[in-house]
Amino acid sequence: MRCTNLCAERQRLLDAYTESAAALSRFGQAVAAAAVSYEADLFQRAWDRCEGARLRCAESRRELTAHMQEHGCEFGLFAAAASNK
């Protein structure tokens, strides 16, 4: 079944992906800060947290993409944009 607008599940998954991408960005900044500190333990902890955030972000993206393909929500995005013209 193809939906014609943004469904609630896609919105939930999109919100989760947005949050995980923001977390990845924050942890990436922490890795950069730890790198200039020259403290190996601090850097390793920051790296491990960043890697965890990267994996969560990738999984969120996979879930969002799978839902869009299975449910047809990607077509709703184009339909909504066309109706705004």
Q: Rounded to 5 degrees, what angle do the CA atoms 34, 36, 39 make?
A: 55
Tens digit of each residue's pLDDT (9 = 90 or more) over 8-49 = 899 999 999 999 999 999 999 999 999 998 899 999 999 999
Alpha helices by DSSP H, the chain: 8-35, 40-71, 73-83
Is residue 69 in a domain? yes
Is residue 3 in a domain? no
Q: Could you tell me the residue range of the domain that residue 60 belongs to? A: 8-83
Residue 38 pLDDT: 87
Q: Tell me the pTM.
A: 0.76
Is residue 71 in a domain? yes
Q: How many domains does the chain have?
A: 1
Is residue 53 in a domain? yes
Q: Do 30 and 50 contact (CB within 8 A), yes or no?
A: yes
Is residue 62 in a domain? yes
Is residue 13 in a domain? yes
- pLDDT bracket for residue 82 (50, 70, 90): very low
Tokens of 71: 């449910």
